[in-house]
Every structure is written in C-alpha cells, then in structure tokens.
Structure 1
Amino acid sequence: MTLLNKIILTTLAAGAILVVAILPAEYGIDPTGLGSTLGLVEMGKAEMGKAEQSVSEHTQQESAARFNTQDLTLSFNIGDYDPTAERINESVQGLIHLEDTPFKSETFDIDIEDYGEIEHKFIMPADSTFVYSWKVLNHKGEGVYYDFHGHPSSQDAMQYPDGFEMAYSRGEGIKQSGAFTTPFAGYHGFYFMNIEEGPITVRVTISGYWKEHKEMFRAIDGKVITKVPF
C-alpha cells in the first residue's frame, strides 16, 4: 500500500470517528443516527449540561467576588470631601442628608401695606434644606428691603449668645432665588420692608423640608400689628 493510500484511509477513518462518535458524544450532533443507537447522544447532552452548570457557577462566583456587597456598603456622613480621590467609598459630610418623608412644595403670597414690614419664618431642624424663589408681583420701583436670617427658638436660646441670630442674605430688590441649608435648629426665613409707594405683594415659592411656617411679625409705619413669640 502506498503512502498516499495510507493517508487517505487514515483521513477517512478519522472522519468516520468524528461523525459517528465525537459529534454525538461531545456536541449532541448525530447525522448518521448511530450515535443515538449507541447512547452517545445522551452521553453528550449530559456532559454539555455539566459544562454549562460549571460555567454558570464560575460566572456567579466571579460576579460575587467582583461586586462584594460589603464593598458597596456606605457609612453615611462620616467622610471628608477629597477632590483628588479616584474613588469615594463613603458618603461625604454635608453632601447628602436623608429624610424620612418626601419634600414639600408650596407657593403663597405675602401682602405688605404701604410703609409696611413683615417677618415670615420657617421652623426647621438642623441640616434641613429648601430651595426658594420670591418676587414682588406689582413693583413700580425698588421693591423691598429684605433680610434672610435665622435664630434659635426660645427653648434653645440659652445655648447661644444673648440676642444671637445669623444673617444669610440682605439687600434691596424685587426678586431672589436660592438654596438654603439650616446651620442650626430654629426659625429661618425672610424679613421684608416695603420701600415702594403703595401696597405690594411678594410671592414666595419654596420646596424642601420644614416643620411649619408662619408670619412672626408685622408692622405698619412702625406700629406693630402682629408679633408671635419664638
């Protein structure tokens, strides 16, 4: 037998083994039907099932190792902000303050008489936030003198210097918008003095967290009309 004939016979034998045995046993492919007769197809399915299960278990283990839940646990409000950090695994003090309830939104009008002044305060715990806008609806001139400030309640006043209050913003104008976070628990809000000629209306729109809000003081031409104790 020549070398060429040996090569041809060897190739044909290898092909026959591939079709009859390897394909049914390894991949469940049985073009001749002999694989099913010899039980090789069922053997192949069983082996493929084991392989798939092994791959699935390995993938789950790899995912668990990569996304270890302990690595994702955050300790709230204990870290300092580091702008050079590549990754922050802890929340940063002051950037988030969780609340138990959804935020509130409200719009209300404050009517101020000619030569009038009012003070409207929001009662809030420390580290609470609201965003706000106010504007004079019917201004004809400079609008109002405003003073956005806060002070503690009478119950907490002993913890602070006598007459303590903190100013946040003051000036003259017809509108202002901003965001505010309370530095301490107490009464925080707006004082408006009408510097127009004739009565005006200030519309306040606010969203955020507060316990309640109310008018604390009102005077007309220096005469006190309303004064609520803190």
Structure 2
Amino acid sequence: MNNRFDISKAPPLRAEPRQHGVAAPVQSVPATSGGLIRSTLIAAGAAGAILVLFWLPAEYGIDPTRVGALTGLTEMGEIKQQLAAEAEADAQAAAAEAVAPPAQAPVAVPAEIVQRLDRIDAQLAALAAVIGAPPAAVELAATAPVETAAAPAAPEAEAAPTTGEPVEEAVAEAAAPEWRDEISYTLDPSEGIEVKLTMEEGQVARFFWTANGGVVNFDLHGDGGGQSISYEQGRAVPEATGDLIAAFTGNHGWFWRNRTEAPVTVTLRTGGEYAELNAT
C-alpha cells in the first residue's frame, strides 16, 4: 500500500483567533530631524543650567547667577577650595621635607692632631713662664698677623643729645598706622574662620594679623560678581602684615585654620579703604 503524503490533498490552513491578554507587537514611531534637534537642545540647556546654577557654586565657589549664594552652595564650594589648597600645601611641605638633605654629622678630629695641639699649648705655657708674660698674650702674639702702622684715630663725633620719653612716645604714635577695626577669635584644633572686607575695585586696605605666639594656615582671597581670586596662602604662619588691593568689587579677606593640637587666638587689625568687615 502506498502511504506517500500528497500535499495537494491537505486541508487549508486557518488563521487562529488572537487570544485575549496577549500583547500586540510594538510599532515603531517615525522620528523627524526637527524633533531630534529639539530634544538635543532641551537636554543641552538643562545640563548647562545644572552646571551654572548648582555644580560650579558647589565645587568651585563660582556663582555668576547668585543662586548658589541663596542656597548655600557657594560657601560650600569655597570651603572645598580652601581645604584643597591646604591639602596641596601640606603635600608640598611633606615633599620638601622628604627631599631635604640630612644633617651632616660632626667631623671627628684625629687623635694625632689633638696631641700635637696639646704639645703646642704646653710649649707656649713654658715660654710664657720664662719671659714672665701671661700664656694668653703669648698665644695671641703667635697667632696674630703682622699689623701695619695704624692711622691716627678720627675724632669721635659728638654724641647727639638724648630725647626725653614723651618725645619718643609722640614719634612712635605718629608713625603707627591708624586701625579702624580690631577683632580676635580663638580657634580650637582643626577649627577655621573667615573674615572679609567689602571693597570696591582698586581700594587699598592695610592689615596686620597675628596668631599670638601660635601658628595657623591661611588663605587670602576674594570673590564677587562671579569672580574669585587667591592672593596668598601660607602654612604654619605666626603673623602677616601688608596692603590688600581689591582686584574687583566684592568681598576680600582671610580664612584661617588651626592645624595645631592646642587652641590659637587670631587677632586682626584693619584700616584703609573698605566699607565694612564681616566674619563667618
């Protein structure tokens, strides 16, 4: 019997009905060039706004829109920059100490030279006993160079009359600078404080600060109007004085931190051209 399958006699295939609950295939949505460009521009604008409004003030203290000052992000960024500057200064100081040449050991004098010097001293003492001169004079005459004829001594100038104490005090007071403000802060170990002067561009303020026997790390800087500058930094400095010239209109001043293991009192005196003094 022939059991070969004949496809022409097979029943026709039927489409099965769609089952309830089965998800339909995803259909693609055509994207136009204008839509892609608009989406890209929106994303770029959002990233730029986040960069200017939040990231720059929080990381670098740069606040062109003043939003960071309102939210406190600018102060956080300034503290980060100050801490980074202190860490870099500490690393540089440690590297300098590591490459510093070791102290040279004292050179040992050979015993033969010491004995020879002792014999010379004994001979000088015997010669002094013979001629009746003190040993020190004989030793000085033996080692002193030959001197030429001395020129006649010039007549001594008449001593200037001494001034009284009231006059000296008046001169000292006239030479001393006039200070407008004087403040003092006691910093515990690892504590810091910032004091700034409100200044216009080009104004000059005189200053003198001291750690009163201690040392502190400091950063003399300024900020304002989206600008920032670092004038000078120091590590383990006991005091400093000079003139602060404002590079731009804004707040200019000092940040001190006590890196010692004991409290340190910082005293600041200021004078010259500035509107007010603020501490934070």
TM-score range relative to shorter protein: 0.3 to 0.5
Q: Which has the larger radius of gyration?
A: 2
Between structures 1 and 2, the one with greater helix share: 2
Q: Which structure is richer in relative contact order (CA contacts within 8 A, separation 6 or more)?
A: 1
Between structures 1 and 2, the one with greater strand share: 1
